[in-house]
Structure 1
Amino acid sequence: MEIDREEPAGTALLLAAAPVGKGRLVDAVGVLPALAAVPPGALTGTAAATLVELADPLDPQAVLTRLRAAVATPGPLSLYIAGQLHLDHRQRLPHLALARTSPATLRYTALPWHWIAGELKLRRPGTTTVVVDLVADDPTWQRLTTDRGLLALCHGVRVYGRLVPPPGRRTIASPDYLKACAAVWRSGARPPLPALHEQVLAQTGVAQGALLYAADFPPTPTPAPAPVPSPAPAVPSARPAPDADPLPSILAAATSGRHGEAAAAAAAWEQHAHRTYGSGSPEAIHWLEVRADLARLAGDPAASCRLWMVAAEARLARQQTRDDPDVEGAVDRAHHQWEQLRDPEAARALGPALVALRRRVPGRRRGALQVLQRRLEQWHDTTEGVMH
């Protein structure tokens, strides 16, 4: 006897974001009405689907929370991203700009691309599709021309779309790739993604020098052919491209699950910075923060919390003020990681030091210290209740 198994519902997460004001390079949210008019099942390739829309979100942590919820769903996941990319000045890593992003606040108001990669690696291979329509600013575009693996996602994630250079002065780009996809779906057609990709490129053309994503499980984007695009699946290179910055390879190891290797490499570079520049140097603190983020990617919030606190203390020791964005960012990240703890002993052990640090660095979250103190008291009350 055959048993009908109901196909799991899919989830489509639409993320469209760009800075408000003169920093905007693309009208990212302009694509959302077109995509929202498409039956959700067309976006996921399933009979039933849930649609989640994020239009010009303000807070990267809020976006991360919605992304984690989507990643946790059992059915197919399709992530559609329209927006613009920038490199942060310290680590030179790509970030997706959000509504409040400015050059001075990029590290704290934009969504790091490696956060997306880190979350998607938790998905079962073959169940996740990412479709992008992105614009890169000049520094990011120049970096990508020599390091096309900078935006690589983990194995098992299908990626389609395009990445284009910045538009001319006083020009706002349009997410025409995703708009054309939406037009095909609204017509009732449901071509496979490789065929849809080629059809859309034939309709819209390809921006000069654009990088195209058109592969199952791609490691890198492929350069756009000219004059007529005919993209082929990207093939991993036998030799890694030269890159003097060790951070991309370390993050690639972490996002592919080689957390021990990534942590060991970052620790070695931190020791090198200690010997070369001094223990309290910006270079040493940079690698300390890298280790903190690697611990987060490895699912070790206790270690991540501790390292972010050490980083904050090191910055304060350098006479950085308590309202310095780097100091506030380190404390906020330590606080966030502490909130992820599920081990009462670890929470109680780290809590007092975090409370003391919060008193020195209140941050911009209203009432953050009081929320932290109440949560720490709850941990103590829960433990005492268990003991009695």
Structure 2
Amino acid sequence: MPGTVLLLAASPVGKGRLVDAASVLPVLAAVEPSVLSGADTANVVELADPLEPQAVLTRLRAAATAPGPLTVFVAGQLQLDRKQHLPHLALARTTPATVRYTGFPWAWVREELRLRAPGTTTLLLDLHTDAETWQWLRARPLDSGRTNAVYGRIAPPPARRVVAVPSYMKAVATILRSGWRPPVEQLHQQAVERLGAEGYADVLLASPGFAGVTAVPGGSAPRPPSALKGPRPRTPDGLNKPGRSLNSTGRPQDADPHGVITAAVQAGRHPDADALAAEHEQAAVRAHGRGSEEALHWTEVRADLAMLAGDPVRSCQAWLAVAGARLAAGQAAGAVAVEAAVDRAHHQWGQIHDPAAARELGLALAELRGLVPGRRKGALDHVRRQLGQLESQPLTS
């Protein structure tokens, strides 16, 4: 029975574009249809920077009702609508103000695929996010349907004035161009390994079906809600409902500071966002202690804020501090939160351009990598190689 393949690459036109999604399509289109689908023969449908959500829905619905295996490749960026705060795939005409009307609701993916027979549907995703959506996803999985196999990555916002590339999807396409499709789990792992340090900050998706979980960087264990989510009870309500948090005196207050921080980041007021997070960090330290989950949460928030502000030195320092504090508190080197902190420190270290700062933080990272190698092969070797290259560079005065 022939298979069906849907290639979807979408991102806004203009300054709202975070990723050049369509750049991956020529590479995918060069792969034999049978290799893309894993079936003897396949029908391939390609959507490049579509304009209308209904056009995407029509193609997805047709693919979902076709017999045989279905493989959906999606490259693009996720954004939240302003009314319901639900994720949408941004299309060519999407702007922050029009997401609800011009974006493709991610819930439609789940709904259109829900009646397919278990084990017949595979999604391969390479998605980038803006700051608000990144926060939202840190508290929730991206629900793509429990019976669908979902693999890929969700990347944090790129640096300011930088348009990212769908590196994961390009790695997948390059592997498939060999003419052989390995089992999807192996295909995913090989693509992740090709990302190298670039992918250490990503959230990896590795769900073989009947799960729909979000995984930690480099691994397949379910990722608990973490950074940029308040020190209140960890419920699915996440960021979008007011919760009780600590004010600068350590007493609970009603207003949720995370919405204020998000607004400041979106307005480009990064120092204001960090100052507010620092107040809550110090309040949590006074109330619960430096190594408490409440205090470490706010250190993680500040690490992400530094990343969003384009300050990899400060972000790397914060993630190193989080990892060190968790280890000092007796958490295992293989614990999810410890590995995530070291992976994110590693990613931010790779963004540092000042040789002196990179050397100093690289030594600390190498020491941590010796204790926390992570789930990706060669992480410690990568740090050592980069340090060796840095040693050959002259220090700038």
Using structure 1 for the length normalisation, give the TM-score. Answer: 0.57
User: Aligned AA for 1:199?
Assistant: Q
164, 174, 181: which one aligns with 1:190: 181
Counterpart in 2 of 1:78? 71
User: What is the deviation of 1:243?
Assistant: 2.8
Distance in 1 (alpha carbons) for counterparts of 2:224 and 2:236: 16
What does the per-residue CA deviation read over 1:76-111, in whole Å, with 9 as the maximum and x for residues that have no partner? 000110000001110000000000001121111000
Match of 2:82 among 89, 93, 96: 89
Which range moves more in the overlay, 23-32 or 199-208?
199-208
2:14 aligns to what SS in structure 1?
coil
Matches within 5 A, 1:7-46: 8-46=1-39
Deviation at 1:154, TM superposition (A): 1.6
Alpha-carbon distance in 2 for matches of 1:203, 1:9: 30
**Which structure has the larger Rg?**
1
Residue among 227, 232, 235 paired with 2:220 = 232
CA distance in 2, matches of 1:51, 1:88: 30
Q: Kindly provide the amino acid, as one letter, of the partner of residue 45 in structure 2.
A: V
1:203 aligns to 2:194 (yes or no):
yes
Query: Match for 1:184: what amino acid?
Result: I
In the alignment, the residues of structure 2 paired with residue 47 and residue 247 of structure 1 have an alpha-carbon distance, to the nearest angstrom, of 46
Structure 2 counterpart of 1:173: 164
After TM superposition, the structure 1 = structure 2 runs for residues 338-353 of structure 1, keeping only pairs within 5 Å, are none
- Counterpart amino acid of residue 162 in structure 1: R
Contact 1:219 1:235 (8 Å CA) reproduced: no
**Aligned sequence identity (%):** 52
Displacement, 1:219?
1.8
Q: Give the ranges of 4+ consecutive aligned residues of structure 1 lying more than 2 Å apart after TM superposition.
A: 206-209, 231-237, 243-248
Q: 1:215 aligns with which of 201, 207, 219?
A: 207
Structure 1: which 5+ runs fail to align? Answer: 1-7, 249-388
Write the deviation string for residues 316-371 of structure 1: whole angstroms up to 9, x where unpaired: xxxxxxxxxxxxxxxxxxxxxxxxxxxxxxxxxxxxxxxxxxxxxxxxxxxxxxxx
CA contact (8 A) 2:10 2:90 kept: yes
Matches within 5 A, 1:1-388: 8-147=1-140, 149=141, 151-205=142-196, 206-217=198-209, 218-224=211-217, 229=218, 231-232=219-220, 234=222, 242-244=235-237
CA distance change for structure 1 residues 192 and 154 in 2, over 3 Å: closer, same or farther? same
- Alignment CA distance shift 1:60-1:69 (3 Å): same
Q: State the distance in 1 between where 2:236 and 2:221 align.
A: 24
Distance 1:9 1:246, change over 3 A: farther
Aligned counterparts of 2:223 and 2:235: Cα–Cα separation in 1: 17
Q: Deviations over 1:51-94 (max 9, x none)?
A: 00000000001110111000000110001100000011100000
1:234 to partner: Cα distance: 4.3
Q: What CA deviation, in whole Å up to 9, does each residue of 1:9-52 have, x standing for no partner?
A: 00000000000000000000000000000001111110000000
SS of 1:213's equivalent in the other structure is strand
Q: TM-score, normalised by structure 2?
A: 0.56
In the alignment, the residues of structure 2 paired with residue 233 and residue 53 of structure 1 have an alpha-carbon distance, to the nearest angstrom, of: 32
CA distance in 2, matches of 1:172, 1:247: 28
Give the equivalent residue in structure 2 for 1:322.
Answer: none
Q: How far apart are 1:189 and its partner, in Å?
A: 3.0
Structure 1 distance, partners of 2:179, 2:135, is 39
Q: Secondary structure at the match of 2:193?
A: helix
Query: Whole-Å Cα distance in 2 between the matches of residues 233 and 167 of structure 1?
Result: 25
Provide structure 2 residue ranges, at least 5 long, that are not aligned to the other structure.
226-232, 242-397
Query: SS state of the match for residue 45, structure 2?
Result: strand
Paired amino acid for 1:40: P
Query: How many residues align structurally?
Result: 232
Distance in 1, Cα, partners of 2:8 & 2:181: 22
Cα gap change, 1:138 to 1:236, in 2 (>3 Å):
closer
User: Are the structure 2 counterparts of residues 215 and 233 from structure 1 closer, same or farther at C-alpha, using a change threshold of 3 Å?
Assistant: farther
Q: Per the alignment, in what secondary structure is the counterpart of residue 162 of structure 1?
A: strand
